[in-house]
Chain A
Amino acid sequence: MEKNMLKDENDRVDGFLKVTGKAKYFAEYELPGLTYGVLVTSTITKGKITSLDTKSAEKAPGVIAVISHLNKPSAAAYEQESGPQMKIFYTDKIFYNGQPIAIVVANTFERATYAASLVKATYANETFNTDFEKALKDPKAKKLQGQADYKRGEENAYKTAEVKLEERYFLPIETHNPMELHGIIADWRPNNQLTVYAKTQGVKATQGTIANVFKIPMENIQVNSEFVGGGFGMALRTWPLEIATVMASKHIGKPVKVVITRMQMFTMVGNRPAAIQTIGLGANKDGKLTGITHRAYGETSTYENFTEGVVNMAKFMYQCDNVNTSYVIVPVDLGVPIWMRGPGEATGAFALESAIDEMAHALDMDPLDFRIKNDPETDQQKNKPFSSKNIKEAYKIGADKIGWRNRKNKPGSLLEGPWQTGYGVSVGVFNANRGKASVKGILKADGSLLLQSATSDIGPGTGTGMTLIANKLMNIPVNKITFELGDSSLPPAPSQGGSATLSTVGSAVNDVCVALKSTIAELAANSNMDATSNFVDVLKKNNLPQIEITKESQSGKEKDSYSMYSFSIHFVQVKVNSLTGVVKINKIVSVGDSGTIVSPKTARSQMVGGAVGGIGMALTEESIIDHRYGRYINNNFADYHVPVNADVPEIDVNFINKPDPYINPMGAKGMGEIALIGFSAAVANAVFNATGKRIRTLPITPDKILA
């Protein structure tokens, strides 16, 4: 890496490579004899393939093979009855519209694309339903428990409260849509040796999944994924399209590259599932919560169940003796969802944090005061103290910065021509996770430190964070430290998800550095050197070119004694045009309470990215399906609206930056998810404050303001 370009020690270590195009992403690897695969997809929503005519595709120029359920190579796990329902190319069943049914491999991408259009399938159609609301209403439609029901105190206590409300909230499907399209390069060589260049949030997970499907040893598979152009959760699993590519390479004995289209990004790599939620809140007239009921229904597929933590927050975020939750998943004929940034907690926070605002309004209280009044001292769900929590301080910082004092509690009070101004606040919270990871550290006599772990960087700046941890502990300049990741042959680490990488891998970096330091101290003592001697001198004195230590690190008993969460507070100021219904976010203040901030620049980037994703969730993003056909209508970047620069105002990012005494040696808690969780409710609450209109269906588009 070109470390000499670092302007200060907090710069992103791979920033130079990324902005100069030198960072190499999976699709950019040119292997000798590389071929190109294009997936053929179903045009019906449910049924069976009755015939598949591949003749003209096979005869088309440059085509090497067409692989489908008719001629697939062996994938041992799919031969068995157990295992997933969606065994790509091992089934003639169609579970959703856009499901891959064949792969065409040719010597150029264009030729493969053309030949794919020549594959003709006929189907036996079955009746289907892609409409989540319809499935929910249909008493005959299947419903499954997504999480055990939770009850503390009295069930539905809100119903008998002095002040009560019960409201319903709807969140549509959102599609991750990272800039980088999904895909994989697979190179299956003789003796079942496989190398893949993947877009993955976990090289070890990809390695394990492929090993499991094809029943070949893990060590036969090398997975490379050094740079990832955004994941947001969609690269947390190995998708059928990736297995199809490996099959194709195995079949033709050449490397095959697949990069799916933007349209296929809507059907092949998951989404944030639609959700319908009802919240019941009860409070006494003094503004103390007396009952919280959170019931959620989430969308899932018919062939695989997907669940997430939609109702988690209601169980501990506010002081309340009577809380009950339920979470039910409803299968529809669509592709299986997957976690999308903030995952279920972001879905749940939209409903809960909107309802909290509604209750504050019903009580004629400032919503900030209402939250502070109901802020718990301990976690009532786990009956444990919080490891650290500085929410009240965060409220104060954010309120000052957004100018909360200018807010009027009466909605629609601030007018300027057709523009109405409003302020909103909400809270985000997510588990402060710490998993198990290994890191190898190699301290060299040339003064450098190399750290290695099979972790990932989908954008948060993993290498930068790890480098800074080592820099602080070892007192080695950042340009002498290299952190290698994205390679399955390195010491194992979990996938990058659930805001856990810094806590998990960072702890292992810490432990390796501590061990390296004590080894150097020992060597110094043994060679009669001063204990504070520079490690370069110590290594040289001992004629050692380097020392190498690998450490595995994981949490201990502290996990049983404390409730560990990261928190965020989002404040927004909006302007709403009462004539055109346009909502403009004027200012954002986000405050993160996630322990020590190890890497200030990339931490800030995380909060900025979370706010931008939150704007999308609140105002613009919605994947639309025509339920008559089961097909997406807006599956492109012109019609699926991710926020653009013009939608994003100044984002004022603040951190409490106080170490958590228990979570890990750095005192740092994850913050990728909290950057987004709750944000959409802050916008909806601000829109209410501006206009008096409560929008409970996202995204808040102009038509909903005018309705």
Chain B
Amino acid sequence: MINFQYLRTTTVKSAIALLVKDKNAKFLAGGTNLIDLMKRGVTAPEKLIDINHVPLKEIKQVGNKIYIGALTSNTAVADHALVKEKLPLLSWALQAGASAQLRNVATVGGNMMQRTRCGYFYDTEMPCNKRQPGTGCGAMEGFNRMHAIFGTSDQCIAVHPSDMCIALVALDAEVILANAKGERKIPFKEFHRLAGDTPQLDNNLKADEMITGLEIPINNLAKNYHYLKVRDRASYAFALVSVAAAFETVDNKIIDVRLAMGGVAHKPWRLTASELFLKGKEASLTNFEQAAQLAMKDAKGFGGNDFKLKLAPNTIIEALNLAKSKA
């Protein structure tokens, strides 16, 4: 193995201080992705700053929002009474991810920071602009069955692999970021990036910043919701396509609706046009079908993933149907 220094800290302040000192330092939380990347030679941090003892594991209601600490485990969030009651969509999405063992150690912040599962990214003998800018994209004309159909660039067609983040973008979460000077909050949908000309960057976290938590507004979406993940086996597989769907109806009219997709883009993909269309309309199959068609504007396949052009709208329809039948 390549040697690295292991440091452990117990406060946000000292964690950030250690981070800014060394640009080859990385935070270590659950390590479920980072350690794999180190083993495969994709990344080789000189310092690992273990932040597991930083007290950021709280889940609580603050006013009309739910606060979740960045170091809360995926299991703790999914099983928390407040989350299950007020934000069941998030709980469902989390449970669709990884395996029980991984969820027990994987954290909220780590989940947001996980990197793509593109095979070319992981194999250091293959070209990958994300791993090594300028080497080309192996997937573009190679094996791209798992890859993006929205927002791709000529540099990278990788997808963001998270399930949790799909629910969070749908729920209008905010991310709390801290640096040495203080905190800032950004909307969740602005946290992750499209690949563009900088495929090496997955998100807008700055080099001196640390994710400390999330805030999620409480909504009326706890009745009609569904997280539908279509994958190659029933558990422990990344999404071919996943859909987070939730809506609120009054007199059979949709007054609030959230739709987001996973497995289709370099970032969690919110379906704004479909939401706009559904608002004020009846929760009917015809409307769901039209909303699904609207979501597919500008979708583009790369051969191996062409099936997603059909699977994605179908999954939107099925997720909305299941959300509707839940009431």
Contact = CB atoms under 8 A, between A and B. Distances in A.
Interface of A: 43, 110-111, 113-114, 117, 417-418, 577, 579-582, 584, 619-620, 624, 626, 628-629, 631, 633-634, 636, 638-639, 641, 643-647, 701-703, 706-707
B310 A644 contact: no
18 contacts: A114-B1, A117-B41, A580-B314, A580-B318, A620-B233, A624-B143, A626-B126, A626-B138, A626-B143, A631-B126, A634-B119, A634-B143, A638-B117, A638-B237, A639-B117, A643-B233, A647-B234, A703-B311
Contacts of A113: 1
Contact of B307 (A619, A624, A707): A707
Nearest to B308: A703
A647 B233 contact: yes
B232 A631 contact: no
Contacts of B123: 631, 633
B125 interface: yes
A580 B237 CA distance: 15
Interface in B121-153: 122-123, 125-126, 138, 141-143, 145
Nearest to B234: A646
Contact of A580 (B122, B125, B234, B315): B315
A703 B145 contact: yes
B67 to A, nearest CB: 32
Contacts of A582: 230
Contacts of B238: 638
B125 A706 contact: no
Nearest to A261: B39
B6 interface: no
Most buried by B among A117, A647, A702: A702
B235 interface: yes
B2 interface: yes
A643 B240 CA distance: 17
B307 A703 contact: yes
Given A626-B138, A707-B307, A641 B232 contact: yes
B159 interface: no
B106 interface: no
Contacts of A418: 318, 321
Interface residues of B, number: 33
Minimum-distance CB pairs A-B, first 4? A646-B234, A703-B307, A633-B119, A646-B235
A638 B238 CA distance: 8
Contacts of B318: 418, 577, 579-580
A612 B122 CA distance: 29
Contacts of B311: 580-581, 702-703, 706
B4 to A, nearest CB: 12
Contacts of A638: 117, 236-238
B234 A702 contact: no
B228 interface: yes
B235 A580 contact: no
B318 to A, nearest CB: 5
Contacts of B1: 110-111, 113-114
B317 interface: yes
A43 B41 CA distance: 15
A619 B237 CA distance: 13
From A579, A620, A631, A639, name the one whose CB has the most chain B CB atoms within 10 angstroms.
Answer: A579
A707 B309 CA distance: 11
A646 B236 CA distance: 9
A643 B232 CA distance: 10
A584 B1 CA distance: 42
Contacts of A644: 233-236
Interface string B286-318: 000000000000000000000100110011011
A619 B122 CA distance: 25
Contact of B233 (A43, A111, A579, A641): A641
A706 B126 contact: no
A619 B240 contact: no
Nearest to A638: B117
A701 B233 CA distance: 9
Contacts of B314: 579-581, 706
A579 B234 contact: no
A204 B266 CA distance: 53
A579 B236 contact: no
Contact of B125 (A114, A631, A702): A631
A43 B235 contact: no
B81 to A, nearest CB: 25
Interface string B230-271: 101111111010000000000000000000000000000000
Given A117-B41, A580-B228, A644-B235, A706 B315 contact: no
Nearest to A109: B1
Nearest to B138: A626
Contacts of A706: 307, 310-311, 314
B149 to A, nearest CB: 13
Contacts of A114: 1-2
A168 to B, nearest CB: 21
A626 B233 contact: no
B273 to A, nearest CB: 21
Contacts of A645: 235
A579 B235 contact: no
Contacts of A624: 143
A417 B145 CA distance: 28
B158 to A, nearest CB: 13
Contacts of B228: 580
Contacts of B307: 702-703, 706-707
Contacts of B119: 633-634, 639
A649 B111 CA distance: 31
A111 B3 CA distance: 10
B160 to A, nearest CB: 15
Contacts of A647: 233-235
A582 B318 CA distance: 12
A577 B234 CA distance: 13
B229 to A, nearest CB: 10
A264 to B, nearest CB: 13
A641 B323 CA distance: 29
A620 B232 contact: yes
Which of B125, B142, B145, B234 gathers most chain A CB within 10 Å? B234
